[in-house]
Amino acid sequence: MVNGAERKIDGLIFDKDGTLFDFHTTWSTWAHGVIADLTGGDPDHAARMAAEMDYDLAARRFRPSSPLIAGTNREAAECVARALPGRDVDEVEAFLMRATLDVPQAEAVPLAPFLGGIRRAVRALGVVTNDTEAGARAHLGRAGVLDSFDFVAGFDSGHGAKPDPGPLLAFARVTGLDPACIAMVGDSTHDLIAGRAAGMRTIGVLTGPAEAAALAPHADIVLPDIGHIPDWLRA
């Protein structure tokens, strides 16, 4: 792991789900409801959909290998549609997008005070998610922190989707920051691979499904949650 003091960090990019918001508290509960809605409660169809999603129905929890964890809405829709013969992928995608907008988000740490403090340490903050941009803005707005960010991008914002570094480099262009002075913060290997590809520092957090052992090879440091970042910046 790298010390963190080699070059001053001027910008931070955050993933959304599993990073700013606790993944399981938010999305595992949501997934259970989506499965029930789309299958009409049919147990065989529910089991088939859960298998495609790599979701544990009994534990009501995504497994770390689930393709929905770091995938885009379209990829999630394609996964779900495989378990629903005759359902159009576009229809499923539209349903999932509507279903995500109003999901109550469980903050990984109290976001307003955290972001207020971190803004005094860096010049710019961004969010890059494989959710839609509209979904990201809705969730950040509901948490009262949308105005804390200088840049918000989803997979549909025109910059690409993680693990492609495109949206991270777009943040660098918009803010005028050197990628080497930016850190990407995320809970998945998609986040960290994108950060490395963009020439940025990488911070893994454990508020998503991935374990430290999976994140460590791609991270300069792995922290329990984003609340530990100020101490890392001061180190």
* Cα–chain center distance at 234: 25
> What 3-state class would DSSP assign to 57?
coil
pLDDT, position 215: 97
Which CATH code is given to the segment(s) 11-21+106-234?
3.40.50.1000
pLDDT, position 6: 67
pTM of the shown model? 0.84
Other CB atoms within 10 A of residue 211 CB: 12
pLDDT, position 65: 86
> What 3-state class would DSSP assign to 216?
helix
User: Tokens 């508020």 belong to which residue?
Assistant: 207
Note whether 49 and 79 are within 8 A (CB): no
pLDDT, position 126: 98
Give me the residue spans of the domains in the chain.
11-21+106-234, 24-101
Per-residue pLDDT of the chain (235 residues; tens, 9 = 90+): 344 446 799 999 999 999 999 998 888 888 888 999 999 888 998 999 999 999 999 998 898 889 888 788 888 899 999 988 888 999 999 998 888 877 888 999 999 999 999 999 999 999 999 999 999 999 999 999 999 999 999 999 999 999 999 999 999 999 999 999 999 999 999 999 999 999 999 999 999 999 999 999 999 999 999 999 999 999 8
Cα–Cα distance list, 3 to 62, 67, 203 (Å): 33, 32, 11
* Residues contacting 78, CB < 8 A, separation 6+: 89
pLDDT, position 229: 98
